[in-house]
Amino acid sequence: MQSYTFRIAKSKIISVILTLVTLVSTIPFLLVLYFIVKNGISVINWEFITHLPTPVGEPGGGILNALVGTVILIFIALILSVPFGVLVGIFLAEKSGSKISFFVRMMSEILQGVPSIVVGIIAYLWVVKPMGHFSALSGGVALGIMMLPVIIKSTEEILKLIPVEIKEASLALGVPYYKTILRVMLPAGLSGILSGILAGIARIAGETAPLLFTAFGNPFLNFNILKPISAMSLLIFNYAISPYEDWWAKAWGASCILVFFVLTLNVITRIISSRK
């Protein structure tokens, strides 16, 4: 048997080593941030966010098409997935014991794990092929499918956290069931649902794979959801693999904007959910 002091020392040393290893594991994140900011920040200016891209080799130009595209895609995804997801979430919270809800919950978890590239194929098969052309709508459908499980889960979880007494009190007062859910339970759980929506946006804002063969890209400004549309992530991908330094710089600038947008959303969601 080792002496007690030796064991104490060993325990201390291990704790120091483990803490150091943890610190080391944060290096990649810090490196990525540093790299993006270093290369991207100098590119970002007023023209960059308010102008359309110029042809290769011509100076100036910006990424307005991609900024607008990402906003529209997120908007479509929200319209498609929030009402649907909240309803499924209510179903799961209200009928949590039933057999169907077991399968529904499982399906939601399966959807959560479906690789984004597969979601892209599905949106291509379901929207692009029948419609006969690429469109912002098909990209929005793909992103909506990706967002759905996040919203279902956050709705279910927040509703389950609300004390059952509140619901019972409302029902006892003669408020109909649907009103109890919509006017009492949902408002009580609003912050949770909102943070779920934000987390959902954070998940899809930078997605590229589902957009490759749906939203397709567009060098012009487009507000029509039946037309191909650009997105920040698509633009970064196309510019990143190009051989032009000018385009690389633009991709860094776009990365910088995108990463800070997504990280801010992530931090906000975490703050909201840790308050719960």
Partner 1 sequence: MASQFIKKLELNKDKIFNLLLVSSAFSLLILGVGIFLSLLNASSLALKKFGFSFFSGSEWDPVSEEFGALPFIYGTILTSLISLLISLPFSLAIIIVLGEYFKKGIFAEILRYLTELIAGVPSVVLGFWGLFFLVPIMREIEIKLGVTPYGVGILTASIILAFMILPYSASIGKDAMRLVPNELKEAAFALGATRWEMIKKVMIPYARSGIIAGVILSLGRALGETMAVTMVIGNYHGIPENIFSPGNTIASIIANEFTEATGEVYLSSLMYLGLTLFLITTIVNLIGRLILKRLQH
Partner 2 sequence: MKISISQSLAKLILLFGFLFQFLSIPVFSQDRELLGAGATFPYVLYSKMFDAYYKQTNVKVNYQSIGSGGGIRQLKEKTVDFGASDAFLSDEQLREFDSPVLHIPTCLGAVVITYNLPGNPQLKLTPDVIADIFLGKIKKWNDPRITNLNPGINLPNLNITVVHRSDGSGTTFVFTDYLSKVSNEWAQKVGRGTSVAWPVGLGGKGNEGVTGLVKQIPGAVGYVELIYAKQNKLPQALVKNKSGKFINPELSSISAAGKTKIPDDTRISITDTDAEDGYPISSFTWILVYKEQNYKGRSLERAKQLVKLLWWIVHEGQAYTEPLDYAKLPGEVVKKAEKIIKSITYNGKPVYQEVGIK
Binding residues for partner 1 restricted to 127-166, rule: CB under 8 A: 145, 148, 152
**Residues whose CB is less than 8 angstroms from the CB of residue 272 and which lie 6 or more positions away in sequence, other chains included:** 191, 192, 194, 195, 198
- Hey, what long-range contacts does 123-126 have (CB within 8 A, 24 or more apart)? 123/210, 123/214, 124/213, 124/214
Total chain residues near partner 2 (CB under 8 A) = 27
Chosen from partner 2, partner 1, none, partner binding at 36 (C-beta under 5 to 8 Å by type): partner 1
103 vs 223, which CB is nearer to partner 1?
A: 103
Identify the residue among 128, 198, 256, 257 touching partner 2 (CB under 8 A): 128
Considering only 26-34, 36-44, 125-133, 152-160, which stretch makes contact with partner 2 by CB under 8 A? 125-133
- The b/e string for 156-192 (b: 16+ C-beta within 10 A; e otherwise) is bbbbeebeeeebeebeeeeeeeeebbeebbbebbeeb
**Which residues from 172-201 bind partner 1, rule CB under 8 A?**
176-179, 181-182
Count of CB atoms situated within 10 Å of the CB of 269: 21
Over the window 58 to 97, marking each residue x when it contacts partner 2 by CB under 8 A and - when it does not, the resulting string is: ---------------------x------------------
Whole-number minimum distance, CB 21 to partner 2, in Å?
32
Count of CB atoms situated within 10 Å of the CB of 259: 17
Chosen from partner 1, partner 2, none, partner binding at 228 (C-beta under 5 to 8 Å by type): partner 2
45 vs 54, which CB is nearer to partner 2?
A: 54
**Which residues from 42-101 bind partner 1, rule CB under 8 A?**
84, 87-88, 90-92, 94-95, 100-101
Q: How far is 131 from 109, CA to CA, in rounded Å?
A: 29
Residue with tokens 């597969």: 118
Most distant pair of Cα atoms in the chain: their distance: 77
Q: How far is 215 from 141, CA to CA, in rounded Å?
A: 10
CA end-to-end distance (rounded Å), the chain:
47
The reply to whether 179 sits near partner 2 by the rule CB under 8 A is: yes
* Residues at the contact surface with partner 2, assessed by CB under 8 A: 54-57, 79, 128-129, 132-134, 179, 183, 216-220, 223-228, 241-244
